[in-house]
Amino acid sequence: MPAIEFRNVKKRYKSLQALKGVSLTVEEGEFFGLLGPNGAGKTTLISILAGLARADEGSVAVRGHDVVADFRAARRALGVVPQELVFDPFFTVRETLRIQSGYFGLRHNDDWIDEVMANLDLTEKADANMRALSGGMKRRVLVAQALVHRPPVIVLDEPTAGVDVELRQTLWKFISRLNREGHTIVLTTHYLEEAELLCDRIAMLRRGEVVALERTSELLQRFAGLQLYVRFAQGVLPADLRALEVDPGAANTRQHLLRLSNYDDVERILSQCRAAGCTFDEIEVRKADLEDVFVQVMNAPEMVEGLA
């Protein structure tokens, strides 16, 4: 039984078709990445999963529980960390977590609350009022709220957006531990190095559609390869090399990232550039990472036909 299952999920907001028939499954115990540019439909998909929005068509289930027909069981199995900093200014951190526990019928949950606070470095702020906390501390409390009922499925929607390095490290250490203990994690993030490091499998969304769905290692192997970065002191990239550009829409004509089949391509490309009158400020051969793969997929979705 999958941890999460989306079946042909469609959602329209007036003239905008936010989701165009999304189907995917997240298996039990996975660390799953849901990636895409702003407006791709990630937050809409999560809102439907969490019961904050309702799909126009299709169905969503959490551990076999339909989020509409069996919403109580679905909500109990799910913990969601939202993008927005939403908090009640009238309570302390500990009171906030106790109230959240009460929503799930957990009366004597202080031991777990203490453990969650300790793992998120919130113990010293346990008796501080929520409105007195910094933005980073408020985000830690949001994470704690999502975990307070020990959900088997945890969804993190941009959890490290705008936070410091310390919180990122603290959060990922704790979340990775929960994943090792069997919790399913779904992550959306614009920090693609996090997704590359943490996620077993990745789905990429573009304009409400899944355009790639594969294991992270296989995505990197399929699309990454070698790349040549050049920055020109003068001159422009020869027209017959433009087909090799990873991001052909980039505005900067002095800097280019070109796909290589192998190392033998380097001298040929440099020779063509020199023959066209180009001189170089910088040359670097590098192995592509998930960010490079993301750019390729978003700019050329036909390249991943058959993966989704």
Domains of the chain by residue range? 1-77+151-223+289-308, 89-148, 225-287
Strand 31-35 to 201-206 pairing:
parallel
CATH topology match: 1-77+151-223+289-308 vs 225-287 = no
The DSSP secondary-structure symbol of 106 reads -
CB atoms closer than 10 angstroms to residue 54: 11
Per CATH, domain 1-77+151-223+289-308 is 3.40.50.10070:
no
The average pLDDT across 130-134 equals 88
The average pLDDT across 31-58 equals 93
**Distance from C-alpha of 90 to C-alpha of 7, rounded to nearest angstrom:** 40
DSSP character string of 154-216: EEEESTTTT--HHHHHHHHHHHHHHHHTT-EEEEE-S-HHHHHHH-SEEEEEETTEEEEEEEH
Residue 224: pLDDT band with limits 50, 70, 90: low
Q: In percent, how much of the chain has pLDDT > 90?
A: 59
Residue pair 33/199 in contact (Cβ under 8 Å)? The answer is: yes
Pairwise pLDDT comparison (221 vs 282), residue with the higher score? 282
The reported pLDDT for the residue numbered 303 is 44
pLDDT at 199 over 70: yes
The average pLDDT across 168-196 equals 91
The reported pLDDT for the residue numbered 293 is 83
Kindly report the CATH class assigned to 225-287: alpha beta
The length of the chain is 308
Residue pair 32/202 in contact (Cβ under 8 Å)? The answer is: yes
The reported pLDDT for the residue numbered 223 is 67
CB atoms closer than 10 angstroms to residue 224: 17
The reported pLDDT for the residue numbered 266 is 93
pLDDT at 195 over 80: yes
How far lies 115's CA from each of 81, 94, 99, in Å? 18, 12, 16
Q: In percent, how much of the chain has pLDDT > 70?
A: 95
Residue pair 97/117 in contact (Cβ under 8 Å)? The answer is: yes
Q: Report the chain's mean pLDDT, rounded to a whole number.
A: 88
**Cβ-count burial of 127 within 10 angstroms (0-12 exposed, 13-18 middle, 19+ buried)?**
exposed
* 65 CB-near residues (< 8 Å, 6+ apart): 71, 73, 74, 77
The reported pLDDT for the residue numbered 305 is 42
pLDDT at 250 over 70: no
Residue 251: pLDDT band with limits 50, 70, 90: low
Highest mean pLDDT (candidates 74-78, 82-86, 191-195) = 74-78
